[in-house]
Each structure stands twice: as structure tokens, then as C-alpha cells.
Amino acid sequence: MFSRSRRNLARWFTLSMGSILVLFAAILYFLEAKDQLRAFDQELYNTSQLMAAGVEDGRYQEQQRISLEDVPILGGEALPFNNKIIYARWYTPKKQLLEFFGVIPSEQLNNQLGFQTIKLDDATQKAYQEGDRVSSSIGHSKLLRQLTVPVFQDKQLIGYLEIAASLTPVEETLWSLRLFLIVGVPIALSVIGLTGWFLGGMAMQPIRQSYEQLQRFTADASHELRTPLQAIRNYAQFGLLEPIDPSQQQSSLENIDQLAESMGMLISNLLFLARNEGKLKPEALKLVHLVSWLETLVEEYADSAKAKNLEFTSEFPQQLVMLRINPDLMRQAITNLLNNACRYTPSGGKVHLRVVLVSRWVIIEVQDSGIGIPEADLPHIFERFYRVDSVRSRHTGGFGLGLAIVQQIVQAHGGEIRAVSRLGEGSTFQITLPFTPQSSP
């Protein structure tokens, strides 16, 4: 299931990013082709203006004459434009051919004014290539860019100039760009696919972890509920037998009541975890005087610890410590830690509660001299339904949810909890809560 989802994520990521890449490449090629053609047209137009400037129009022996002697290409001068012009033609105002350079054109100007792209057939291209003066310019291109412009002097039309140049430079530039895109786009698509596969794996990781946690939670909850339900059923069936000793019947009912109470506690804990998921809203927090608030807990546990022959001490700072917390939830967290400390500390041991201020943090610490936690179990003690010793926990009435509840409450307050323990020497749990300036008056 997760592999299929990962493939789907990678596929859709590649398709979406690939589509954007292909669209971007197409736009890039279109803009580059447009710029290249615009620059080529501008150069061709400048050439036509230079040639038109060399035309002399005047009257000679009472006749109007056009002199093209000083016109580059059409005159006797050598080609001054790097031999890019394939042909040049001069037509009279009546569109009759007067002078030309290159292959023999038609006697009448039939082409439209302005820029035109002309595609040569094989025979025409061969004829152009055979010309010594233009073979290097036309190359293997079959496309020519032709410009036909009217030429005026003193606002009077004196003729038409038509020139053309091979589009080989533009085609070579665009071919290099196409080659780059043809090679680069598939490589980029491959990189995008691998990136999508990698990101898909990263995206699926928390989902996989949540799914595995849900599976483990469901299995653990089912196991915890199935055991007392089976015991209740056994006691109920025993109570239905006749004849039965009233004392045994009374014992069965008491066991059923205890098991039902235990199941009620388990369900309450599960509901607590479900309802308090996530960080608390600001309106759920209250500004409390931490030391005064903790002293009520000290009074409650002093008698309880004395009854178990434990030495219970506390240590609070002298300065005023105001903390923004949810008193009910935080009381539940600290109560769970104190309950565990008293439960797993043998008679004659010590339980110590203290508050320490470190920079912008408040540390609430519960320390005991109890039986401790094995080092291998420490990384797992905050997991739901995790028991260091399942037999001992069942005997003491625990479900393995107490520390999970503590961690969830602390994280809901934006804090952290850590545990340090050595087997046979005791444990220390530290709740670290943010002590911001807004927390103090």
C-alpha cells in the first residue's frame, strides 16, 4: 500500500513538474527564436538603408537617371557586409528590373513589400551554392530572409530595393538550443522523477509511522480490554452456577466490580489521550503562581508518602514564578509522576519534588530513589501501553499509559520531558516548560 502510494506521488510529481518544464522549454525556445529573427531582421534592414543611401537620382541630359555605382553590392565595390547578402536587386518605380546581384531574377517585381521567409527548392539552392561569392553564406540552409523596401528621395519614389540573406546563422543558433533542450529536458525529467521518488518516500514516512502507531495502539488496546472482559465473563459464569457458596458469589461480584472499574480507568485514559491531542489553545491556559500551586500537591502527597514510610521533600525557588499552564492537565501530569515515584520506591526511600529556573525555562523535577528503569527500556517508556515489567504493572494497576499522558500534556504546553534512571538507584523525570516574559506579571 505504501509503495503504491509512493509510486503515485512520484508519478504525479514527475508529471506536474515535467509539464511545467516542457512548457518552460517551449516558451524559452519560442522567445529565443523570436529574438534571433528580430535581430536578424534589424541587421538586414540596416543593410538595406546603407545600400539605399548610396543611390544617386538626378537629371542627366534632360533625362531622369538613377546611378547605382556607389551602392554596395549592386555597384562595383566589393561586398562590405561579410558576404551575408545572397542577392540584391534594384527595381525602377515601375517595378522593372534595373540591376541585380546573384542569380537572375524576374524582370518584374512581384514580391510583397517588407520581410518574407523564402524556402528554396533543391535546384534553386544548388544554383545559389554554385555561385563563388555566396556559397559560404547560404550553406546548407533552404531558408532565405528577404526584404523588399521602397526607396524615396525628397519624398519621391525612385525605386525598390530587394535583398535577401540566408537564415543559416539563426538556424544554427536555434539548432544548438534545440539540441540542448533535447538532451537536457529528458535528463531533467529523470532528475525530477528521482526527486519525486525521494520526496514521496519522505512524505510517506510520517504516514507510515502514524499507521504503524495506530496498528500498535489498536492491538494493545484490544489486548488490554480483551483480558478483563474474559475475566469478567469467567466470574459471571462461575456466579451463575448452582448451588454456589454465597461467599464465593460475593467474591466473584467483587472481582467483576474491580475489573469493570479497571476497564473504566483504561477507557478514561484512552479518551484523555484522544481529546488532548495537539497543542493547547491560548484560551485554555491560565496564569498561575507555580510555587503556591505546587504546594497543594506537596500537602496531599506528604501524608501519602508518610503512610508508605517514604521521605517526601520539596524545593522551590524564593522568587515569584508565574507560569501560563492549564492547571487541571498539568496537575494530572505531575500527579502521574508522583504516583509512579511513590509506587516504585521501596519503604524507607526518598521522593523529591523541586522547581529550577534555567534562563527562559522552568524545570519541574520529580526524583525518587526507587527501583529504577533498565537502560534498554528508557527510550520506550513514553510509548503508549509500554510496560517496563508487565507483571509488576498489572499488579500495581497500571496500563502503561501514565507516562504517555504526561508526555502528551507537556508537549501540549510546548514543553519537553526527559527521564534519567539507573536500575536500583532511582529515577529522575524533568518537565521543561517555556518561561516567557508574558508568563510573568
**pLDDT value at position 439?**
45
Q: List phi, psi (to 5°) of 127.
A: -65, -40
**pLDDT value at position 28?**
93
**pLDDT value at position 51?**
86
**pLDDT value at position 437?**
54
Average pLDDT across the chain, whole number: 82
**pLDDT value at position 208?**
81
Please report which confidence band the pLDDT of residue 358 belongs to, taking 50, 70 and 90 as the band edges. Answer: confident
* Residue 115: count of CB within 10 angstroms of its CB: 15
Cell readout for 410 is 507537556
**pLDDT value at position 6?**
83
How many whole angstroms separate alpha carbon 245 and alpha carbon 332?
A: 42
**pLDDT value at position 103?**
78
How many whole angstroms separate alpha carbon 370 and alpha carbon 421?
A: 10
Domain that holds residue 287: 278-434
User: Mean per-residue pLDDT for 356-375?
Assistant: 90
Q: Is the peptide bond before 282 cis (omega within 30 degrees of 0)?
A: no
The CA-to-CA distance between both ends of the chain, in Å, stands at: 53
Q: Is residue 65 a part of any domain in this protein?
A: no
**pLDDT value at position 80?**
55
How many whole angstroms separate alpha carbon 412 and alpha carbon 407?
A: 8
Q: Is residue 178 a part of any domain in this protein?
A: no
* Residue 13: count of CB within 10 angstroms of its CB: 19
**pLDDT value at position 140?**
60
Q: Is residue 413 a part of any domain in this protein?
A: yes
Cell readout for 325 is 499552564
* Residue 391: count of CB within 10 angstroms of its CB: 8
How many whole angstroms separate alpha carbon 99 and alpha carbon 70?
A: 13
How many whole angstroms separate alpha carbon 38 and alpha carbon 402?
A: 76
**pLDDT value at position 440?**
44
**pLDDT value at position 419?**
93
| pLDDT greater at residue 324 or residue 217 | 324
User: Mean per-residue pLDDT for 402-421?
Assistant: 89
Residue with cell string 507483571: 391
Q: Is residue 366 a part of any domain in this protein?
A: yes
Cell readout for 70 is 556607389
The tally of domains found in the chain comes to 1
Cell readout for 285 is 491556559
Give a three-class secondary structure readout of the chain.
CHHHHHHHHHHHHHHHHHHHHHHHHHHHHHHHHHHHHHHHHHHHHHHHHHHHHCCEEEEECCEEEEECCCCCCCCCCCCCCCCCEEEEEEECCCCEEEEEECCCCCCECCCCCEEEEEECCHHHHHHHHHCCCCHHHHCCCCEEEEEEEEEEECCEEEEEEEEEEECHHHHHHHHHHHHHHHHHHHHHHHHHHHHHHHHHHHHHHHHHHHHHHHHHHHHHHHHHHHHHHHHHHHHHHHHCCCCCCHHHHHHHHHHHHHHHHHHHHHHHHHHHHHHCCCCCCHHHCEEEEHHHHHHHHHHHHHHHHHHCCCEEEEECCCCCCEEEECHHHHHHHHHHHHHHHHHCCCCCCEEEEEEEEECCEEEEEEEECCCCCCCCCHHHCCCCCCCCCHHHHHHHCCCCCHHHHHHHHHHHCCCEEEEEEECCCEEEEEEEEECCHHHCC
Residue with cell string 499522558: 405
Q: Is residue 267 a part of any domain in this protein?
A: no
The lowest-confidence range among 76-80, 117-121, 353-357 is 76-80
Q: Is residue 269 a part of any domain in this protein?
A: no
User: Mean per-residue pLDDT for 273-285?
Assistant: 73
* 190-197 long-range Cβ contacts below 8 angstroms, 24+ apart: 192/13, 192/14, 192/17, 192/18, 192/21, 193/10, 193/14, 195/13, 196/9, 196/10, 196/11, 196/12, 196/13, 196/14, 196/17, 197/6, 197/10
The CB-side HSE value for 433 (13 A sphere, CA atoms) comes to: 26
Q: At what angle do helices 246-275 and 168-239 cross, to 10 degrees?
A: 160
**pLDDT value at position 38?**
94
Q: Is the pLDDT confidence value at 137 over 60?
A: no
CATH number at 402 reads 3.30.565.10
Q: Is residue 123 a part of any domain in this protein?
A: no
Report, in angstroms and rounded to the nearest whole number, the Rg of the chain calculated over CA atoms.
46
Q: Which of 375, 310, 391 is nearest to 343 (CA)?
A: 310
pLDDT tens-digit series, residues 139-170: 566 788 999 999 988 888 888 999 998 888 88
Strand partners, 251: none
**pLDDT value at position 441?**
43
pLDDT tens-digit series, residues 44-96: 998 888 888 888 877 666 666 778 777 887 776 655 555 578 888 999 888 88
Whether the CB-CB separation of 166 and 144 falls below 8 Å is answered with yes
How many whole angstroms separate alpha carbon 63 and alpha carbon 188?
A: 70
How many whole angstroms separate alpha carbon 409 and alpha carbon 277?
A: 9
Please report which confidence band the pLDDT of residue 174 belongs to, taking 50, 70 and 90 as the band edges. Answer: very high
Q: Is residue 244 a part of any domain in this protein?
A: no
